[in-house]
A and B are shown apart, each in its own frame.
Chain A
Amino acid sequence: MDITSLKGWEMREKLIKKEISSTEILSAHLSKIDKIEKDINAFITMDKENALKTAKRVDEKLQKGEKLGIIAGLPVGLKDNILTKNLRTTCGSRMLENFNPPYDATVVRKIVEEDGIILGKTNMDEFAMGGSTETSYFGNTRNPKDLTRVPGGSSGGSAAAVAANALPLALGTDTGGSVRQPASFCGIVGMKPTYGLVSRYGVVPMSNSLDQIGVFGRDVRDAHMMLQTVTGYDPLDATSSKRADRDISIEGIDSLKGLRIALPEQYKDLRITGDEKIQERFKETVKVFEDAGAIVEYVSLPSLQYALETYYVIMASEVTTNLSRFDGIRFGYRTENYETLDELYTNSRTEAFGEETKRRIMMGNYALSAGHQDQSYKKALRVRTLIKQDYENAFKDHDIILSLTAPMLPFKLDSIINSPVDMYKADLYTVPVNLAGLCGISIPMGDVDNLPVGLQITGPRFGDSTILKAGLGYERAVR
């Protein structure tokens, strides 16, 4: 039996029945990683020693008959923008190449409480900016389904690791699709929960009003297990919600019967050329829902056509301010080449940030500057209100919204990295969910040209259990 090919929840069941030990689970994954990592490059930093120690501790607990946590004995990968005390956290950037955090993110504490085994820090686009994991200072990650293609991004390392059976579970962050799109590209499940459900404390922010920790698993149950582990109100995060303390239950559903599904009309006009086969796949998928008794209707969300631009203005504005703290003084890279304070700042930042990061810092400063602020940043905050209202209307009469996760198949390495606007368009279906603070999950819906494509299920705020249940229903329907 190859342990690594099991689902996370299957591993846990076998562990509890004492059919396998936590140490065995871990060593199976470690040898898997040994074999594939040189091809995939999913990790930036491994923490083998601590992982082995934790696995031993879990085994001892099991022997003593102590209660085990939700993800006991399961190796977990953390996107490298989630801070781990005394374990290097780089954000995929030269800026933080040697950054040793003095504190743990709240989600890290939760994983430890639930007996999870943190195995390493996964690769990502620099500061989570990108959709291909090609902007990482630590080299790009490859898609396990086709090594000539990108795994998506920015949480590409986590997605690739789970898809390659290097890990059963992983965390990513999703600001505009950075969990769902790589899940779609790698053929696994990736979920962005409702904004406020999972604490952002200790997660290096990209865009504070949009960022949310997301979870990866090879099926919906795994994703749910990972989500249950990290969710919860956190007094250290003033944007976390008290509603996050409820259980996200997926009990008691078997069918999609009676589920009210909305399809946004606007997406009909927003096609990118060459995606007909993906659209075909999507239609067949919708049919699966209908055949199972769901009610499908087209709805109009008129402001959706501005979502991408609105997203990029707000995101870049927040990015700009977030990245100002990297000035070479208190932490992070400091240039050796300076004589004045201004040179200390400018050269440190210029030498340590990559091109896409620089572009977004500058986009943000453009959008926030005195002459443009009203027509860009402040305008975008208003358009965001319209988008949010459109969704609220749609969810009055519908339970979920279905769409593609990404408008394209996983693309070749080095193919569109030099065309920023094309790269941004990959986020078309995912960004509105972040703008409105909703929840969304990407679930594999088969292949196109032997490459995975994802179905996105969007739910209302705190409709996390609804989309998980719909996802489970779909998994059962196509099994």
Chain B
Amino acid sequence: MAKKTLIGLEIHVELSTDKKMFCNCKNQYGADVNTQVCPICLGLPGALPVIDKQAVEYAIRAGIAFDSKITDEIRMDRKNYFYPDLTKGYQISQSDHPLCAGGYLEIEPQSGPKKITLDRIHIEEDTGKQLHTEDGTSLLDFNRCGVPLVEIVTNPDVSSAEEAKLFLEKLRNTLKYIGISDVRMEEGSLRCDVNINVVDDEAGTKTNITEVKNLNSFRSAVKAIEYEEKRHRVLMEKGENTDKETRRWDEVVGETILMRKKYTADDYRFANEADITPIKIDREWLENIRENLPELPHAKKMRFIEEYDLSDYEAGVLTQSQELAHFFEETLVNVKDAKLLGNWMMGDVLRRLKDEDKDFEEMPISSTNLAELINLVKDGKINNNTGKKVLREMFETGNSPRAIVEEKGLIQISDEGELEKIVVEMLDNNPQSVEDFKNGKDRAVGFLVGQIMKATKGKANPQLVNKLLTEKIKER
């Protein structure tokens, strides 16, 4: 394979701090237009920025989670450009001296584990929002202006859409684990730009880098990468090259569309942000942040394998999100059988959520109720099939399993005398099936079991039914 696709990702993540990055306006999504704005975030002349400690702490958490090197001293810069959603004509960002340098994230594509290395993680402020109206005007809302961001920049280590997707999922998951962002792409709290080109090592040629912006879901990121990869390869095939340009993904058309050509590199004329005196990062504070960092996904997965004797796959699924892992451990306290609980969760619970296209946070069943259900099955109070029916009911009504079982009279019949009567009656009524069985037709047993279950409304203890059937047929 001589041709390689090189993909670098730039991800902007809004931090879920209480206040904005440089002022004390609330950091709040969805407030009334221009009501979370002050002289500082509006960029009024004379107003001065002071950096938010919580924002720095959150960004440092990300740095630690991705194994980046945290700087000794925070320095801020002004990135100069004119745009209506920018209130000062510059964005306070970081240029030469990012908060976190290097680091990596490991993904597991089909081809095996792979490290995607990071160039940097830096802190900066978000811009306002523009609304384009029908009559040719733009309306500006600055509530979002000044919300703290981290910009995470990878090296061009990503080599396919699949890898990009795995990276983004892992990234989002980790950011969520460490509690620094809502990471909701639809609300814009996680935004991703893609830089992509194709190199042919044998021929010694490469296409020019295309930047794709405005990717507002993982799905569109994947599609845009697939589209661009193909576009670059086709042009290369023809002996042509791509232009240096910025494109955007159009979800409706399913294509990337040219935004602007880049004739020269963007010149942001970075200058030191002299309103913010450089800040030494106290090592004790840093250690404190490190120690209080929640367990990261990989560490949690390893612990699940070790502690609960789960397979790599099972542990991976159950630590997909912090909520899920937490739910599992909480439920386990009452179920006390990790394998059994894992099966229920991976099979019935997660499948159902997936069918309904829901995140785990939207799970309607409490940990206590799930534990109670599994224990009812484990203790033989209801059989497995009934258990699944009850679970479905629980999903719909949110009722407790005991209430459902009692209301519908679903307690399993395990009384041998009572069941024996039913079995004998069934054999009396179906002589043909008894005959078939004796002639070696095993299917006949299945039919008989089914009939018995029907007669007991599914409440018969299946093991007991099997045992009694075998005994009674032999007697005939």
Contact = CB atoms under 8 A, between A and B. Distances in A.
A238 B51 CA distance: 8
B88 A83 contact: no
B87 interface: yes
A87 to B, nearest CB: 13
B286 interface: no
A316 to B, nearest CB: 11
Given A103-B39, A324-B88, A201 B46 contact: yes
Interface in A295-338: 317-318, 320-327, 329-331
Given A105-B46, A238-B277, A239-B277, A327 B271 contact: no
Which range contains the number of B residues in contact with the other chain? 20 to 34
Contacts of A252: none
A341 interface: yes
Interface in B354-375: none
B46 A324 contact: no
B44 interface: yes
7 contacts: A203-B46, A209-B274, A235-B50, A239-B275, A320-B269, A321-B271, A330-B140
Contacts of B277: 238-239
Contacts of A236: 48, 50
B235 to A, nearest CB: 29
Interface stretch (A138-146, A366-374, A401-409): A366-374
B340 interface: no
Contacts of A101: 44, 46
A237 interface: yes
A83 B45 contact: yes
B89 A341 contact: no
Interface string A189-203: 000000000001111
Interface residues of A, number: 46
A331 B87 CA distance: 10
A204 interface: yes
A208 interface: yes
Nearest to B43: A325
A324 B271 CA distance: 13
B27 to A, nearest CB: 19
Given A318-B271, A325-B87, A325-B88, A201 B47 contact: yes
Given A317-B271, A381-B272, A200 B48 contact: yes
Contact of B271 (A102, A202, A368): A368
Interface of B: 39, 42-51, 78, 80, 82, 84, 87-90, 140, 265, 267, 269-272, 274-277
B90 A324 contact: yes
A329 B46 contact: no
A83 B40 CA distance: 13
A201 B45 CA distance: 10
B269 A327 contact: no
Contacts of B90: 321, 324
Contacts of A329: 84, 140
A395 B357 CA distance: 72
Given A325-B87, A325-B88, A370-B265, A238 B80 contact: no
B45 A204 contact: yes
A253 B51 CA distance: 42
Nearest to A381: B272
Contact of A318 (B42, B48, B82, B274): B274
Nearest to A238: B50
A395 B90 CA distance: 38
Contact of B48 (A237, A323, A327): A237
A327 B87 CA distance: 9
Question: 8 closest Cβ contacts across the A-B interface?
Answer: A324-B89, A209-B274, A368-B269, A208-B274, A204-B45, A202-B46, A325-B88, A370-B267
Given A235-B50, A317-B271, A330-B87, A368 B42 contact: no
B48 A201 contact: yes
A39 B10 CA distance: 61
A96 B45 CA distance: 10
Contacts of A345: 82
Contacts of B47: 103, 201-202
Nearest to A318: B274
B198 to A, nearest CB: 28
B89 A327 contact: yes
A202 B272 CA distance: 20
A111 to B, nearest CB: 16
A367 to B, nearest CB: 9
Given A321-B78, A324-B89, A370-B267, A238 B43 contact: no
B97 to A, nearest CB: 13
A101 B78 CA distance: 24
A368 B270 contact: yes
Contacts of B84: 329, 341
A322 B80 CA distance: 10
Nearest to A341: B84
Nearest to A82: B46
B46 A83 contact: yes
Contacts of A202: 46-47
Interface in A258-302: none
A331 B47 CA distance: 14
Scoring B84, B90, B265, B272 by chain A CB atoms within 10 A of each residue's CB, the highest score goes to B272
Given A236-B48, A324-B89, A365-B269, A330 B275 contact: no
